Amino acid sequence: MPEKNDKYMRSDFEGFVKAVLNGDTLNTALDFAAFLRANDMTAGGEHGEISYMGKCLCYMHLDGIEQAPGPWTIWTEGDYSKEHEDVPMDERMKGIAWAHVNHCASCGGSCSPGMHKVIFGKVFENVCSADMAFHTPDTEAMECIKKLLEKRKIVLSNS
């Protein structure tokens, strides 16, 4: 098994995924790797950052170990209080996003003890600064993550 570090992920994300995941999770991760490549996004930056044009889109933990946050978790970044017309979110996708709202666990980070957030028109309390956490995302959750990253990419492209 390759060393689990950011340098390896940056140089060969697909190779790293193949080394630490298997089954449906591996297939979902390989699809995600193709999505990142097709959208000029880079996996494996500092702290598991996924970036676009050198700017953070989200964070990812990938180690293949079954204990949380493994084997694979993606935390989204950004403001999801409103929609971007370029990437519409239907009610099904909003429901998936809402089901993955990341509530503060009082880790001592800047969001402790959690924040008031509006995510696609719905109010949430006690939310972490990483609005959503997708643990071992399945195909449907990955579809939502891709939409969230497309939205974030648009915001970063226009800033």
Mean pLDDT over residues 1-26, rounded? 69
Exposure of 103 in the CB half-sphere (CA atoms within 13 A)? 6
Q: How far is CA 76 from CA 83, 105, 106, 137, 148, in A?
A: 15, 16, 18, 13, 8
In this prediction, residue 11 carries a pLDDT of 55
Alpha carbon 107 to its chain's center: 19
Find out whether 75 and 60 touch, Cβ atoms under 8 Å. yes
pTM of the predicted model, to two decimals?
0.86
The beta-carbon contacts of 138-143 under 8 Å, at least 24 apart in sequence, are 138/24, 138/28, 139/24, 139/28, 139/31, 140/96, 141/96, 141/100, 142/28, 142/31, 142/32, 143/93, 143/96
Residue 93 — pLDDT band, cuts 50, 70, 90?
A: very high
Residue 85 — pLDDT band, cuts 50, 70, 90?
A: low
